[in-house]
Amino acid sequence: MLIVMQTHASGDDIAEVCRRIESLGLKAHPMPGATRTAIGITGNIDAIDARSFEALSGVRELVRVTKPYKLASREMHADDTVVPVAGTRIGPGTFTVIAGPCSVENESMAMEIAEFLRERGVRLFRGGVFKPRTSPYAFQGLEDEGLRILERVRERTGVGIVTEVMEPDQVERVEQASDILQIGTRNMQNFPLLKRVGKAQRPVLLKRGMSATLEEWLMAAEYVLAGGNKQVILCERGIRTFADHTRNTLDLSVIPPAKQFSHLPILVDPSHGTGKRAYVHPMALAGLAAGADGLIVEIHPKPETAMSDGAQTLTLEQFDVLLTDLRRLAEALGRTVV
C-alpha cells in the first residue's frame, strides 16, 4: 500500500498519516520526493479498510500494491492444482473436454448425447437443470426431475456430470447427482452460495463474472478455498464490452495471467463466449493454443429445436470435427485431449 500526498501537503499532514498507520500496527515508510511525499506501508494491510486513508488531510491518492487473495495465489501455492474427476484429471498436461446440451430437455436426448460422448472418449457431460434465465417467462429448467435424469445418465453411461447450482439450498441435492458443481457467471459474487460450495464434496467450476476483474474472480475462488474446498476450476466465458460482433467478448488473454498469478486450472467456454455457432470452433482452438486446461462446449443433436441457446450450440457432427482438430492441435503443443 502506498499513500501519495498532495504537493502542498504540510509536514503535519504527513506526520498525522504516519501516526495513523503506526496506530494500526503497521509500519510507515515516508519517501520525500521533488514535488510530493509518498508513504509506503508494510504489514498486514488486508485486515483494515485501507480506503479510509483517503479521507485524511493532505492525501491525494491511495495505491494498493499487494493482491488480496492468498489461497488462490501462486505465491502461496507454487504447484499447479490438478483436479481428479470422473476418471480423468483437469490441469496442465491434459486438455479436458466437457460437452453437452445447454438444458437437459428430456431423458432420451440426454442419454443420446452422453452415449455419443462416451463413444468418443469424452468423459464429462454438461447439462443444466436449474437455468438462470434473463426472462421470468423463459424455460427455467427441469429442476429436480432433471437431477434424476442426470443420475440415470451417469449410471448408464459412466460419464461424469457437470451441472449448475444456483442457491445454497440446492447444493446438497445437486452434489448427489453430479461430479462438478458449476457456479454461473451471474453468481460469481453470490457469496452465500460460494460459502456453501466451499463446504461441498465436489469440485467447483467457477465461471468468471461478466464484468469481473481477474482479481475479483480469484477473490471469489478464495471464498470457496477458504471454506475448505480446494478443488476450484476457473472458467472464462466472455466479458461484457462495447463490442457487438459476439454476444460477449471471450477474453482469452486472461489465461496467461491467471496461470501466472494462480495455481488453479482454467477452462474456456466458447459457446457463451461468442454466442454464435460459427465462431465456436476457431475460438475453441484458440483457447487451447492460449494455454487453457480444457473446454466446455454446448452440443445438441438438433440445435434449431433446442429449448435454450440453440444459436450457439454445435451439432454432433460439428463437435466431431472440432474434436479431431483439437486433438491434432494438442499433439503439436505436446498435450493430450481427454
Report, in Å, the least distance between residue 183 CB and its own copies: 12
Residue/partner pairs of 167-170 with CB below 8 Å, 24 or more apart: 167/193, 168/192, 168/193, 168/195, 168/196, 170/130
Report, in Å, the least distance between residue 3 CB and its own copies: 10
Q: Kindly list the distances between the CA atom of residue 12 and the CA atoms of 9, 19, 287, 298, in Å, as whole numbers in the listed order.
A: 8, 10, 54, 62
Which set of grid coordinates corresponds to residue 87?
A: 476418471
Report, in Å, the least distance between residue 338 CB and its own copies: 18
Nearer to its own copies, 91 or 303 (CB): 303
Report, in Å, the least distance between residue 120 CB and its own copies: 20
Report, in Å, the least distance between residue 125 CB and its own copies: 21
Sequence-distant (6+) residues with CB within 8 A of 300 are 101, 102, 109, 113, 306, 310, 313, 314, 315, 316
Nearer to its own copies, 159 or 236 (CB): 236
The answer to whether the beta carbons of residues 124 and 159 sit under 8 Å apart is: yes
Report, in Å, the least distance between residue 244 CB and its own copies: 6
Q: Kindly list the distances between the CA atom of residue 67 and the CA atoms of 43, 142, 216, 262, 271, in Å, as whole numbers in the listed order.
A: 13, 41, 10, 11, 31
Distance CA(244)–CA(247), nearest Å, equals: 7
Nearer to its own copies, 42 or 201 (CB): 42
Distance CA(2)–CA(63), nearest Å, equals: 5
Nearer to its own copies, 52 or 176 (CB): 52
Nearer to its own copies, 145 or 278 (CB): 278
Nearer to its own copies, 116 or 279 (CB): 279
